[in-house]
Amino acid sequence: MENLINKELVKELMSSKEGVRGFSTKGNFDYIFTKKGKRGLEMLEKELGELGCDIEHKDLVPMKFYPFGLETVVLLAIHKVFNFDKEEFKKIGVFSSKVSLAVRLFMKYFVSLESVEKHVQVMWNKYYTCGDISISSIDKKAKQITVTLKDFKTHPFHCAVLEGYFANILKIITKNEINIKETKCIFNGDEVHEFLLRW
């Protein structure tokens, strides 16, 4: 298995001036606890400690902002310890959308696509201090929407998490199974991330 993370990268990522809420990162830990149990959580925390990132699940403060790079560090550590693939990272996104504090706070807006379109940036800012997000198109006849995310660079693993997250949010709204594909990605040389969701 390819090792994608080391102490130098962790130090660089944790020096970010942008922020991520504790509850966002906590969702990743919660998924590991649900999937791998207490032992799995301990393995992840041990790996993070060895990488110089001494953050434990129990100490994360939900509404506190942590360095933005923490999200990438945790996802890379998860990959190193458990060898998760893209589909498993998508499952993290689905799980997080079900337990997220932000989702509970904004549930009243999940009554229609138009309501989410109006409030999507506000919801996003509950998670991150960076990134501009919009629903760039809604086509109810074709049963699809396009979500565009600018100025947001973490890691392709995070793209997969977002796919799972966005798909489950749209499933809540439409009551239908969702097919999602990232049609543009900055890691492929595009200027933005773009996600096409169909139901």
Confidence bin at 100 (pLDDT 50/70/90): confident
Percentage of the chain lying above the pLDDT 90 cut: 87
Statement: residue 101 has pLDDT above 90? no
Mean residue pLDDT of the chain comes to: 94
pLDDT the model gives residue 1:
54
- In what order do the strands lie in the sheet containing 193-198? 132-139, 144-150, 193-198, 179-184
CB count, 10 Å around CB of 3?
8
pLDDT the model gives residue 124:
95
Short-list 179, 164, 181, CA closest to 84: 164
Percentage of the chain lying above the pLDDT 70 cut: 99
Statement: residue 3 has pLDDT above 80? no
The predicted model gives 8-12 an average pLDDT of 96
- Please report the domains of the chain, with CATH numbers, ordered by start residue: 7-84 (no CATH), 97-198 (3.90.1520.10)
The predicted model gives 78-84 an average pLDDT of 97
Statement: residue 96 has pLDDT above 60? yes
Range with the lowest mean pLDDT among 7-16, 111-120, 183-192? 111-120
Q: How far apart are CA 167 and CA 115, in angstroms?
A: 16
The predicted model gives 69-95 an average pLDDT of 97
The H helix count followed by the E strand count for the chain is 7, 6
- Tell me the pLDDT tens digit for each residue of 120-166: 999 999 999 999 999 999 999 999 999 999 999 999 999 999 999 99
The predicted model gives 66-72 an average pLDDT of 96
Confidence bin at 69 (pLDDT 50/70/90): very high
Statement: residue 2 has pLDDT above 70? no
The predicted model gives 164-173 an average pLDDT of 94
